[in-house]
Structure 1
Amino acid sequence: MSPEGLLTIGELAERAGVTVKTVRFYSDRGLLPATTRSSGGHRRYGPEALDRLRLIRSLRALDLPVPEVGRVLDQGDGLTGALEDAVDGQLRALGSQLTALRWREAALRLIRDCPAEDRADRLRLVGAVSTPPSTAALARFWRGALPVRLSPRLVSSILDYAVPRPPADPTPAQVLTFARLHAIATAPCPAGDPRRAAGNRTDVVRHPDVLYDGLFDAYTLAAAGLKADRTPERGQALDCFVAAHADARGLPDSPGFRRRLSGMLARGTDPLIDRYWELTGELTSSPEPTLGAVHAWLRSALHTDVTTRAG
């Protein structure tokens, strides 16, 4: 140490247990500024540089990027706000990495353990899904199925129900289920794609917000009957369901309208969409019925109501 109590770059590196190259790296990036320079232009550091260098090493050990380390050091607030923000960011990034690894592990187990004759098909399905999986394709699928004039509020609510959240720690079966959902959503406009049906629809819904607000109310009522394992039947849920369709079209609820609505819904039934909702239920394992299951229950209740009235 010099008479002024300053350390050379070599002395600082030795006391901190790092290489001279490391000290020079942090100095060049402004994290560890030299106190002064000697007459020969060599860096000299004050005693406080040792504690700062040790702190830098501790922050880097947490895998904080150099710019984040600089922000933490510059804030000088007792390592509270900036450090907390940096650590939170690292935790989010690490969580995403862990989820990706869990999905990759489950996908590998799925391919390894499946029958040999299924391996090529499952590899194709799983290979089309990113890790961690993105639900963007599923959201695009349903946005294309919804009326253009539907309010953002209702679009957001519908997507919350229609686009399942992938589990953070999936089983191989869940990886396959999500891959099948992704395949439905990304298929090149198959016959069962609701977007095709929406484009060819001759039935005019004048007020789409009225329709979907009413459907949500009807689905809430019907879900209780479905969870109780009741047979589809007349009642408040069905009346609310029919009223939503009638009000959205500016028509009264009548026996004739119910017959037409029942026929229209029967023609709109599609196995592909039914399969989507079935897969959604498998992926989430939620006790709550999916919108697809509730819609099918109400559709069946309407058919029973129309048939009973006709008889």
Structure 2
Amino acid sequence: MQGVDLNLLVALDALLAERSVTGAARRLGLSPSAMSRTLARLRSATGDQLLVQAGRALVPTPYAEELAGRVPALARDAQAVLRPPAGRLDLASLDRTFTLRAGEGFVDLLSAPLAAALLKAAPGVRLRFAPKPDKDAQPLRDGSIDLEIGVVGRSAPEVRTQLLFRDRFIGVCRAGHPLLAGEGPTAERYAACRHVVASRRGQAHGPVDDALARLGLKRAVVLVVPAYTNALQVSYTSDLVALAPRLSLGNALTRHRADAGLQGFDLPVPTPEIAICAQWHPRLDGDPAHRWLRQTVAAVCRDAYPAA
């Protein structure tokens, strides 16, 4: 297909329909001289004269007559394939499964309202939340994941992102913990506690340790678990102090607070904010159904965290 110009197909359609260089030029918004040059290119490409002079008119060659029945449909099909998708998204008839990947906090807190919002507009839509063992972008690239929700990784610069909300870390301990007594959780008293850390990769060090180190302090991490919900359960039943995203684990904290089991507190040292984003592969940018999914996810997050 080297050297093939599909614009020539559209021009040939106009020339065969008008059987006039001037008429075809007018139809395509070109000058007569430009259309004459296009006819010369068509003759060179096909090896046929296509239209020849007969008095003051142009008449088709036998080969052009043969093409006349095929070219209009080919020209329409070529333009349709190379044109952005047209038409309004019909949510009522949309039949599609969207696969999302998110942390346990998002699934716990927002999967139900997200499903309700999607199904209200599109009853034929289904949601599937996949496990999130890491931040590998390959599932976005190969299409096994439609949308990822969480902190942006660094391995896929082509991935599109949209900020959903900002979160921050808080400390969590059981109600009645000695850390909460007296002057409360100062940096020194916080560092002197024993801690449980949530990390999918088994890492005990994090931003709070960097902040403590700047004060010459170090905390004792004695337990590493894979999920924040695990860390909360450990704190609920022991003296270990946990670290958790305030908004992302709101439901879990609320459930434990109901029976006076857990207490959240502001960290005595500053830590960076957590930017929770929607992430998708750029091939889905123009997909109307995926755009609607992204907009719905963003709206559900705004309703859940209006001030975040």
TM-score (norm 1): 0.26
Higher relative contact order, structure no. (Cα contacts within 8 Å, ≥ 6 residues apart): 2
The structure with the greater share of residues assigned to helix is 1
TM-score (norm 2): 0.27
